[in-house]
Amino acid sequence: MRRSWISLPLAALLAACGPETATLDRMEAELAQRLARPAEPVAPAGPLAQRFDKALNAAVLADPGYRAARAREAAALAAIGGARALRRPQISGSATAGAIRETDPDDSTTGLAGEVSLTQNVYDGGESRGAIDRAEANALAARAARAERANEAALAAATSWVELWQFDARLALLNARTREMDGLVDQIGRMARNGMLDKSAHDAARRKIADIDLTRAELEGQRETARSRFRRHFGSLPARLAVPHDLVGPRGLPALVAAWPAGPKLRRAAAELLAAEAALVEARAAFRPKVALQAGLASPMEESESTDASAGLRISYTFGDGGRRRASLQAAEDRVTALEAGLAEVRATAGEEMRGALARLETIDRAMPLIARKIALSRSEAETARSQIVTGQSNLRQLVDAEIERYRAEDQKIRMQAERLVLHLAIMAGAGELAPAIGIGD
């Protein structure tokens, strides 16, 4: 007796397959449509821009990179359940609707055949343990990456705020000082025309003012760049930019410096190394046998045949796979080596950045009293020169020089205040404390 059978699902699948060669045209068209979509605009800062920390919170939550990091973290957490399922009983079933045709005698049977099987893993050489560890380590890496992105986005937004505030303040200072100096230059010009003062003094004063005007042009260009960066993070410019305040908590910088070894960048690198080590365990498990308990029921299509039940211990081992396992093992070992070196590099780089920031902060802290003293002396010098003009002990040229020196000292103070604040923010971001300080946490 010879039998031939036709499975309806298989026949449908074969009928659907045509001679047409698969191409990438459809996916290319979809890719082009995806790229043509306009980028989502950043939500305007609005009233929140009047509060430094609140505006930073809104900017981070609206950051596309932060939203993507949150989605990757959610995906990594969901993958843990899939890995843990490898240790639970696996139940599978199949059904076939079709016909069996017997050629001798010529007869056919139609119906439904099915089977159900249950498999429980007993030993897999550590493959399932490695898969679970890898999934959990990947979740920790994704969580650290999300925290890292939050701190980076907060630092970028805060830096753009500080830079814009700095250029606004420096331009306001320059305009205030030049209004005073323009009056002095006009007075020098009148005195030169009346023969009371050498014309060279007027020309020298005008050259100094020209230098100040060049500084103004540079500051205005830098402010426009700062405005562009500010709009990118906050969506719009507020009517009046609030003065940024220091976000370092009451514990101060020592606590931040102590916390940086557990910062998100180092945590991500360490978690990625743990995931690679777990993948190495999986790769090694492929060389070991696998043992599982298996039970099943199989129902035939013909009513005359009985339903079969089976139960037992199944042992499987792959004797040869063309080198696939060996290549996977080598790749896993190389990845562990690379990530070990990467972790060491991240630790060294982060430590160097932290030490550099602290050294610069110490320099600024030492310089600020000196700048304050310089401002006081230049102000006193300008006031003295102004009072001594009537007695002939000083001249307008000396007064212009004193006013310019005072302006440069006050301008330097604003620049150092801004740099000091950015350094504080950078140290907080490196330690993973900037995002929690603005309300972005776990």
pLDDT, tens digit, for every residue of 199-220? 555 556 666 666 777 888 899 9
Residue 183, pLDDT score: 62
Q: What is the pLDDT of residue 14?
A: 47
pTM above 0.85, yes or no: no
- Return the minimum-mean-pLDDT range out of 107-116, 211-220, 338-347: 107-116
Residue (of 388, 374, 401, 392) closest to 184 by Cα position = 401
Confidence at residue 435, expressed as pLDDT on a 0 to 100 scale: 94
Q: How large is the average pLDDT for residues 271-284?
A: 95
Higher pLDDT, 262 or 398: 262
Domains of the chain with bracketed CATH: 45-89+126-286+324-437 (1.20.1600.10)
In DSSP terms, 310 is beta-bridged to 296
The residue written with tokens 């080590």 in the block is: 277
Tens digit of each residue's pLDDT (9 = 90 or more) over 168-203? 999 999 888 877 666 666 665 565 566 555 555 555
Asked if 267 and 144 touch (Cβ cutoff 8 Å), the reply is yes
Helix axes 64-84, 127-193, angle to 10 degrees: 170
Give residue 422's pLDDT.
95
d(CA 288, CA 319): 10
pLDDT digits 0-9 by tens, 122-144: 888 999 999 999 999 999 999 99
Token pair, residue 268, equals 């991500």
pLDDT tens digit sequence for 6-57 = 444 444 444 555 445 556 887 888 888 888 877 665 554 444 446 888 889 9
Residue 304 has pLDDT above 80, yes or no: no
Higher pLDDT, 326 or 106: 326
Q: 389, 411, 408, 407: which is closest to 398 by C-alpha?
A: 389
DSSP E strands in 267-416: the ranges are 290-299, 308-316
Mean pLDDT of the chain: 83
What is the pLDDT averaged over residues 274-289? 95
Residue 218 tokens read as 């540079």
Alpha helices in 108-126 (DSSP H): none
Average pLDDT of span 363-371: 93
Give the C-alpha separation, 319 to 309, whole Å: 29
Residue with more model confidence, 16 or 335: 335
Please list, in sequence order, all residues whose beta carbon lies within 8 angstroms of the beta carbon of residue 102, skipping any fewer than 6 positions away.
Answer: 1, 2, 3, 108, 109
Report strand pairing: 308-316 vs 90-103.
unpaired
Q: For residue 390, how far is the Cα from the chain centroid?
A: 63
Please report the pLDDT score of residue 48 as a whole number: 47
The more confidently predicted of residues 63 and 20 is 63
In the Cβ-directed half-sphere of 59, how many Cα atoms lie within 13 Å? 32
pLDDT over 70 (residue 225)? yes
- Say what the pLDDT of residue 255 is: 83
